[in-house]
Structures are given as C-alpha cells and as structure tokens.
C-alpha cells in the first residue's frame, strides 16, 4: 500500500485528467433500476475498478454523476479571487464575467504557536472546539440561502452565476469554502496550516459539510454531524424505512422542504432506484482523506438505519484502498439533536489528532452504533458486490 501522501497526490493529480482515464460519460445517461446500493468498484460502462489509479478515475466519474443528477454543476475557480485577513476577519473578493461579490468569515485563533490546523464550520460548529485548532466560521446562508423552497437562486453565489444556475445550495457552499481556501493560500502570514484543514456542520449544515468534504479535495478531515437524509443517509435505505412505517426524511420529502439539492434531482426523487449513485459513494469520494461521521441513533427523522448502513457501506472504499482507519462512524442516541455527547469525545479527539495534528498513531478504527443489530441494517439486503483490494 502506498503511503497516505502518495495516494492523495496521485488521486488529486488524476482528477483533471478524467477524459484520459478512458471513455467519458455519455451526454445522455441510460439509467437502470437497481434496488441495491450501487457498486463503487464498477464504472458506468461496466468496467471493473482493479487499481488505485482506476479508483481515481472512478471517483471523478462519481463526482460527475453527482453533479449531473443531484448536486448541480460546481463552477471552477473564477479568474479573480483576492482577499485579506485583518485580525479575526477574513475577507474574500471574487469577480466573474463582470460581476463581483465579497463575503467574510470570522476566524477564532487558539493560543499557542502557529501555524494552526483549522476547522471550517458550516453555519457554526456544534462539536467541542479541539485545543490548538482554529475555527473558521463560514456564513453559508450568505452564499446560498436555505430558508425554504423559495430560496432557490438566492445568495451571493447566484449573484455571480445567475439565479437559474443548476448548483444546489450545498454545492454553492462547497464553492464558497473553496474560495476561502484560495484566499488563505495567498496569505503566508495567515497562521493557518493549509495542509490540516477540516470541515464540520450539523443537521442541514451537516449535509453541507459532507458535500463540501466530497467536492473540495483540500479538506483533510470531514466531520458531518447528524446530517440525516441528503447527508450520511442513503436515499434507497431511507425509502425502505419509510415503506415500513418509519417517520424518516426521504428524497421525495426533502425537495419540498428546501433547496439543498439541484432542480436536476427533482425528477428522480420518486424513483431513487434508477440512480447510479447513492450517498455511500459520496462518502467514498472523500477517500483517501479523513472522514468521521457523527450520528444519532434515536431520532427516526435522521434515519439511523439508513445512516449507519450507508456509511458502513462507504467504509468499503477505504477498505479497498487499504486505509480503513481513515473513515469512522459513531452513532449514539439519548441526547438532543446536535448536542454532542461526551461518549463520542475520545473518538473525535482521535480523528483530530490523526488528520489535523499529524499523530498517525491515533486509533481511528471506529465503526459503531449503540442501537441493536447494526441499527437494523442487513448488509446482504443492500450489497451484492465484493470489495476488491486495490494496489
């Protein structure tokens, strides 16, 4: 197995060269009904993933599928991105095709010696702030509003790209986080260690955190908290729970509530089995970087079975790459939504230690739920493919 740095570098270098990987996705997709969770290790054209280089290509294919079917288009870095850091306020200025926006993010620096690792908090953080780690508070609603379904096309992202742009609010947030990192890269005295960046958020902002981590490869550690359907849950499993009478959020409901997903997704919400993607693949897109999924086992709306099963399936990508300890899942109940339980503190510490502080010995072998019988998840009902060893 190649060292982490080599895997990461080879993966990132491979991403822009997707067309060189082989046949590109056709302009018109042929969707085939599949009631199981789609195989991460089979390309759209049926070719098998047999190496880490193949996975780099498959990861980018999955990225394109998510953008075409669920998330909308993520624009590349605009021609002009500038900014400054004054005290605790980071200013980002962006210009695109004659239009300009500015937005700010507040930075809470810890005491100690810089440069500091940092966690970008989507809409604020509800996990305990780790010692020695800076917190960058990102006002995601300023970039793309999420008040209700009437929020579509509102926010500074759409000022630049137009109210009819296909990007979901969550995709626009990923774009905003990327611009924050762009600016930090231009400020040598920022006191932020740009190789040690994390992202977190809870509930609706937890959905955003997972999507940010999947789309933005400069994030070293992704920590979605209690993100439910549209985040760490799989659409298919949530639909199955709903059919059994569980009051769980589903794809068909979520598009009637808010603008977290692209209008492109609307046509699939009542036929999610037709999709060649589900959110175990979103988790797989984070690999080989760190991913720690914090979840709640006793709030039906969040879909505990769906989240645990979906993310346990997502760990198979990490297993295939020989880095199983870089993705963890911890599901604990008995507390209020987005209230961080002390029983998960040591697990959070371990992931922060490994990915933000560089302690490679930290024990991050964590896949657990406090709910009986794997929270109801029966793998044989959802996984009909095998996990290869990718060299």
Q: Which domains does the chain have, with CATH numbers?
A: 52-381 (3.40.50.1820)
Contact 155, 142 (CB under 8 A): yes
Active site residues: 203, 337
Helix, strand, coil proportions of the chain in percent (round to 5)? 40, 20, 40
Q: Per-residue DSSP letters for 271-324? A: -GGG-S--HHHHHHHHTTSEEEEEE-SS-GGG-HHHHHHHHHHHHHHHHHTT-G
Q: What six digits make up the tokens of 159?
A: 């000022």
DSSP type of residue 376: G
Name the nearest CA neighbour of 302 among 379, 376, 247, 370. 247
CA 275 – CA 268 distance, rounded (Å):
7
CA 57 – CA 243 distance, rounded (Å):
36
Angle between helices 204-215 and 169-185 (to 10 degrees): 60
CA 281 – CA 116 distance, rounded (Å):
31
Q: Per-residue DSSP letters for 238-276? A: HHHHHHTT-----HHHHHHH--SS-GGGGGGTT-GGG-S
pTM of the shown model = 0.95
Which pLDDT score, from 0 to 100, does residue 15 have?
40
Task: Show pLDDT as tens, one digit a residue, over the chain (391 residues).
Answer: 333 333 343 333 334 345 568 778 999 999 999 999 999 999 999 999 999 999 999 999 999 999 999 999 999 999 999 999 999 999 999 999 999 999 999 999 999 999 999 999 999 999 999 999 999 999 999 999 999 999 999 999 999 999 999 999 999 999 999 999 999 999 999 999 999 999 999 999 999 999 999 999 999 999 999 999 999 999 999 999 999 999 999 999 999 999 999 999 999 999 999 999 999 999 999 999 999 999 999 999 999 999 999 999 999 999 999 999 999 999 999 999 999 999 999 999 999 999 999 999 999 999 999 999 999 999 999 999 999 999 9
Which pLDDT score, from 0 to 100, does residue 18 have?
52
CA 289 – CA 312 distance, rounded (Å):
16
Contact 308, 315 (CB under 8 A): no
List CB contacts of 279: < 8 A, sequence separation 6 or more. 210, 230, 231, 232, 233, 234, 235, 310, 314
Backbone phi and psi for residue 157, each to the nearest 5 degrees, phi listed first: -55, -45
N residues, the chain: 391
Which pLDDT score, from 0 to 100, does residue 20 have?
67
Q: What six digits make up the tokens of 36?
A: 């199981």
């Amino acid at each position: 197995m190649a060292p982490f740095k080599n895997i990461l570098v080879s993966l990132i270098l491979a991403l822009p060269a997707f067309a060189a990987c082989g046949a590109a996705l056709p302009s018109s997709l042929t969707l085939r009904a599949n009631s199981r969770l789609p195989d991460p290790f089979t390309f759209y054209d049926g070719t098998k993933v047999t190496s880490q280089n193949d996975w780099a290509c498959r990861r980018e294919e999955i990225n394109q599928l998510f953008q075409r079917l669920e998330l909308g288009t993520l624009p590349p870095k605009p021609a002009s991105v500038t900014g400054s850091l004054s005290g605790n306020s980071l200013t980002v200025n962006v210009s695109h095709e004659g239009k300009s926006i500015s937005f700010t993010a507040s930075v809470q620096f810890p005491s100690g010696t810089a440069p500091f690792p940092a966690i970008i908090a989507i809409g604020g953080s509800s996990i305990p702030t780790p010692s020695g780690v800076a917190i960058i508070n990102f006002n995601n609603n300023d970039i793309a509003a999420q008040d209700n379904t009437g929020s579509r096309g509102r926010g500074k992202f759409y000022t630049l790209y137009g109210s009819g742009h296909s990007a979901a609010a969550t995709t626009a947030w990923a774009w905003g986080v990327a611009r924050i990192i762009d600016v930090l890269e231009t400020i040598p005295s920022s006191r932020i260690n740009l190789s040690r960046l994390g992202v977190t958020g809870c509930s609706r902002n937890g959905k955003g955190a997972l999507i940010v981590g999947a789309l933005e490869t400069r994030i070293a550690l992704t920590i979605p908290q209690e993100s439910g359907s549209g985040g760490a849950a799989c659409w298919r499993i949530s639909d199955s729970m709903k059919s059994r009478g569980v009051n769980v959020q589903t794809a068909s409901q979520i598009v009637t509530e808010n603008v977290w997903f692209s209008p492109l997704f609307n046509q699939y919400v009542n036929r999610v089995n037709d999709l060649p993607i589900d959110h175990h693949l979103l988790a797989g897109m984070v690999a080989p970087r760190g991913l720690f999924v914090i979840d709640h086992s006793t709030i039906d709306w969040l879909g505990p079975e769906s989240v645990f099963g979906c993310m346990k399936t997502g760990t198979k990508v990490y297993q295939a790459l020989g880095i199983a300890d870089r993705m963890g899942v911890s599901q604990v109940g008995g507390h209020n939504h987005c209230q961080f339980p002390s029983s998960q503190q040591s697990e959070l510490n371990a992931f922060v230690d490994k990915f933000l502080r560089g302690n490679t010995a930290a024990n991050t072998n964590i896949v657990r739920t406090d709910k009986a019988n794997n929270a109801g998840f029966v793998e044989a009902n959802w996984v009909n493919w095998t996990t290869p060893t990718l060299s």
